Structure 1
Amino acid sequence: MFKHPKESQVTITELMLPAHSNFSGKIHGGYILNLMDQIAFACSSKHSRHYCVTASVNRVDFLNPIEVGELVTLKASINYTGRTSMVVGVRVESENIQTGEKKHCNSSYFTMVAKDEQGKNVPVPGIILDDEQGVRRFARSITRQEQAKTRSNKFKSSEFKIEEHIESIKTQNVKIDLE
């Protein structure tokens, strides 16, 4: 079975309140991450028709601060489907209510896994790709997965080769005191 990503897209908008702010008066990043996880859950569960759990989050860069009183809109869409997992692209934008100015605050990719009532992984429907953007997002997800595997293997303690890294480490703000 295959479904179009439009069938499971989710958008939420929320007013940012003082209770959501950090000590500098900006919206706390942890609060935004919580909203991002919720919308990734909603999107993946809607696509799979199963309860889903977060397996990983790929890179969250906070590009622009969010102010108290702004509207924050989160948009989620399925970018990739594996056998039991999905990659949900999440985009966060803020809008100043008085000026109408919109800012892209961050984008991230959540890998979500569908579960049955017993907590076992279950197959998910594939997605229908009908435009270049969909193909690009799917291909980018495959590349991201391959890079993650390479990265995790390269730094496994059994695979790690200190001589490959020691010179570049010495150029950083670090004191190396190996015995």
Structure 2
Amino acid sequence: MTEQTETEAILTPKRVSDSMVVMSHIMMPQDANPAGIVHGGVVMKHIDDACGVAALRHTRGNAVTASIDRLDFHNPVFIGNLLTLKACLNLVGRTSMEVGVRVETEDLKTGEVRHTASAYLTFVALDEKYHPRMVPPLLLETDDDRRRNREAQERRRIRLAEKTKEKACQKNPEIC
């Protein structure tokens, strides 16, 4: 494949549904504390894995976690529960992507499903030399895709403003 053909393939817009992922895991005793409640860090690892798969599907290349935005836990997870993660891209920049994830827990004995956690992760696509590389644009097809994209743009604006403020405070602590 020529370099131009490779670039064209990389920059071909992709639908949100092309990279969407659903992963499920049964929670075992090694995932939990002595009270039988699954560690938040175990859930966080599964979140990072699911979002990483969505980013990889979109880029078809290396992608690494750059940040986690708003990881909120709503309900506990217990040993024996089925943890299901639903991840998809919300926003694509030049080299980065925001991936949103919804985590649900199912009590396999009762069938009850609870919203367990939600998070937004930013990934950066990397080339073979581990430098940032361009990613395909995101094709927004549904009203839900467009809503999530608008919300992600606002989160990005806030993240960038916070980074700018942090850098200014590091240079001149008296202004903060």
Instruction: Provide TM-score, normalisation by structure 2.
Output: 0.87
What is the CA-CA distance between 1:151 and the residue it aligns to?
Answer: 2.6
Partner of residue 103, structure 1: 114
Q: Which has the larger radius of gyration?
A: 1
Q: Which of these residues, 71, 74, 87, is aligned with residue 76 of structure 1?
A: 87
| Maintained 8 Å contact 1:94/1:102 | yes
What is the CA-CA distance between 1:153 and the residue it aligns to?
Answer: 3.4
Partner of residue 22, structure 2: 11
Partner of residue 61, structure 1: 72
TM alignment of 1:11-160, pairs within 5 A: 11-155=22-166, 156-157=169-170, 158=172
Segments of 5+ residues of structure 2 without an aligned counterpart are 1-11
RMSD over aligned CA atoms reads 1.4
- Map Cα deviations across residues 9-55 of structure 1 (whole Å, 9 max, x no partner): 11111100011002332000000100111111111011101111001
SS at structure 2 position matched to 1:112: strand
What code does the residue aligned with 1:41 have? Answer: G
**Pair 1:161–1:128, CA change in 2 (3 A):** same
What is the CA-CA distance between 1:142 and the residue it aligns to?
Answer: 1.1
SS at structure 1 position matched to 2:51: helix
SS at structure 2 position matched to 1:61: strand
Residues paired across the two proteins, number: 162
SS at structure 1 position matched to 2:76: coil
Segments of 5+ residues of structure 1 without an aligned counterpart are 163-179
- Map Cα deviations across residues 68-115 of structure 1 (whole Å, 9 max, x no partner): 101010111011111111111111000000110000001111100111
More helix by share: 2
What is the CA-CA distance between 1:159 and the residue it aligns to?
Answer: 6.1
